[in-house]
Amino acid sequence: MRIAVIGAGYWGPNLIRNLYETRACSEIICCDLDSRKLQKIKDRYPGIQTESQYKKILDRKDVDAVVIATPVSTHFPLGKEILESGKHVFIEKPMTASPEEASELLRLSEKVKRVLMVGHTFEYSPPVIKIKELIDKGELGKIYYISASRVNLGLHQKDVSVIWDLAPHDFSTLFFWLKEQPARVSAIGKACVQKKIPDVAFINLEFPSGCIAHVQVSWLAPSKLRRTAIVGSKKMLVYDDTENIEKVKIYDKGVNYVDPESFGQYQLSYRTGDVVSPRLETYEPLFMEMKHFIECCRENKKPRTDGQSGLRVVRTLDAAERSMRNNSVVVEIPA
């Protein structure tokens, strides 16, 4: 496997480090317009090739796959060229800047029969996978609602709102757990620091199953929150990613109907049992993600976070952004 990485800015070096550690690439080529960034990579990994013009990579027949870690607006044109050159492609989240672009890329990947994978990293993280298992086994019962917060001070983006920057993490995670995408979305937001670039947003989601969800995201908050509460008919769960150890806690809690003894109203009784924090694996999600991408390329199989997954996240981001820009009007998402 020969893999190129385009973009050596903030995130690219993390992808390169993990690609390197898989020991599965005979060669890694790093591509960026900024020669200082390339030099940094060289200093750190003397064995890695560098290249300033990505077109050259497209021409190389011996390069099997390309990883894109550039600004969102470039995801679509780059992805398109890469797929058309017959290479597999991994694109950082969000997959594209619009649902139309996402659909086109998905169609193209199917046509050229190449892997299109999107960097929904959380779907490879131990707590998210553990929760997926619990939900799939029915441990929580029917999911009533989910409430998620992802807020902290920094890093303001200059090209996209906080919705496009932070919400992909929560959206991809929610859709992964629930196996559905929302039917209706509304959002309120505010551009506090930079004009016209909202840095706080409160997003409400309704799913076809009846489950509802709330996601709040912000670059401007007093303390870091990475907390998701899931309320099911049997049990409840809190996933707090700021905790070092007990990231997932399962609460054996619920409400039961108590039949009225004689006449009179029914009663509700509250059940409270043990709290269990399950042991979690300790691997790095990004490593698993890169390993999975390489496997999918080798076997030309559909990745867990495929183009379809990327599309539904982009559709929901687009709907939330439109609601926020349009007085919180409810936006329907076609199934």
Those residues whose C-beta lies under 8 Å from the C-beta of residue 22, and which sit 6 or more positions away, are: 287, 290, 291, 294
CB of 326 to a second copy, least distance (A): 10
In total, the chain counts a number of residues equal to 335
Identity at 270, one-letter amino acid code: Y
Among 22, 49, 147, 308, interactor with a second copy by CB under 8 A:
147
- What tokens were used for 114? 């190449």
42 contributes a contact to a second copy by CB under 8 A: no
Choose among 235, 246, 254: nearest CA to 139: 235
CB of 153 to a second copy, least distance (A): 6
216 contributes a contact to a second copy by CB under 8 A: yes
156 contributes a contact to a second copy by CB under 8 A: yes
Choose among 63, 70, 68, 79: nearest CA to 25: 63
Those residues whose C-beta lies under 8 Å from the C-beta of residue 28, and which sit 6 or more positions away, are: 2, 3, 4, 5, 16, 19, 20, 45, 47, 48, 49
Among the candidate windows 91-99, 109-117, 312-320, 324-332, which touches a second copy by CB under 8 A? 324-332
Among 10, 23, 59, 272, interactor with a second copy by CB under 8 A:
272
Among the candidate windows 48-56, 67-75, 122-130, 214-222, which touches a second copy by CB under 8 A? 214-222
284 contributes a contact to a second copy by CB under 8 A: no
Interatomic CA distance for residues 327 and 321, integer angstroms: 11
**Per-residue string for binding with a second copy, 221-260, x by CB under 8 A?**
xxxx----x-x-x--xxx---x-xxx--x-xxx-x-----
Sheet holding 116-119, edge to edge: 49-51, 27-31, 2-6, 65-68, 88-92, 116-119
Among 58, 145, 226, 308, interactor with a second copy by CB under 8 A:
145
The separation between the first and the last C-alpha atoms of the chain, rounded to the nearest angstrom, is 37
Among 36, 61, 327, 334, interactor with a second copy by CB under 8 A:
327
CB of 168 to a second copy, least distance (A): 20
**Per-residue string for binding with a second copy, 157-196, x by CB under 8 A?**
-x-------------------------x-x-xxx-xxx--
Those residues whose C-beta lies under 8 Å from the C-beta of residue 185, and which sit 6 or more positions away, are: 203, 204, 205, 206, 316, 319, 320, 323, 330, 331, 333
52 contributes a contact to a second copy by CB under 8 A: no
Q: Looking at beta carbons only, is 215 or 290 nearer to a second copy? A: 215
Q: Helices 99-112 and 307-325 sit at what angle, rounded to 10 degrees?
A: 170
Number of residues that bind a second copy (CB under 8 A): 61
Interatomic CA distance for residues 231 and 212, integer angstroms: 10
Q: Write out the residues near a second copy by the rule CB under 8 A.
A: 46, 144-145, 147, 151, 153-154, 156, 158, 184, 186, 188-190, 192-194, 200, 202, 204, 206, 210, 212, 214, 216, 218, 220-224, 229, 231, 233, 236-238, 242, 244-246, 249, 251-253, 255, 265, 268, 270, 272-279, 327-330
